[in-house]
Amino acid sequence: MRLFRYRGRDLKELILGGVRSGKSALAETLARESGMEVLYLATATAGDREMGDRIARHRQRRPAHWRTREEPLALASALASEASPTRCILVDCLTLWLSNLLSGDRDRWRRERADLLALLPRLPGRVILVSNEVGWGIVPSSELGRRFRDEAGRLHQALAACCERVILVVAGLPQVLKGEAL
């Protein structure tokens, strides 16, 4: 069953959900059904064996003809160089991107976030952004954990404002919060 028929216009989508909610699988289905050339823009880094295993599972799910580009930090720059009216770019995942940036220079996060938000509305083609919703859990005990949660929430709000469609995935069930139904 097809979830969505792409209508030949530029489309920016934000897919949010908890861990193992089905958000990446939905994003991959939408990209596959777009009928466009797909670029998978991965932000994860394999800092340990478990994360390496997660990355490997994601790679195995993707069709072989999809191109993958790994970019853990300079997301806006990667999007600017790869976007095209005939391409669907799937970015997975924004919270990993945020985590990568928060572990470094604080000013870099502000610059990268601003660059992404300024660029996204102008990008040609289809862009599907995947991110973890982390604001429904407990308050983290560390300053960095609280900053991460707060920055993720602010990022999601800003992205939702500039995306044509926003989807929340819960237990594998997509709920359209904004935009055209699936």
| b/e per residue 14-36 (b: at least 16 CB within 10 A) | bbbbbeebbbbebbbbbbbebeb
Q: Which residue has the tokens 């407990």?
A: 138
- At residue 167, φ and ψ (nearest 5 deg) are -125, 135
Q: Which of 23, 58, 126, 149 is catalytic?
A: 58
156 in active site: no
| 6 in Cβ contact with 85 (< 8 Å) | no
| 165 in Cβ contact with 128 (< 8 Å) | no
Distances (CA, A) of 98 to 1, 25, 122, 154: 34, 21, 22, 11
3-state helix, strand, coil in the chain (%, to 5): 45, 25, 35
Enzyme catalytic residues: 58
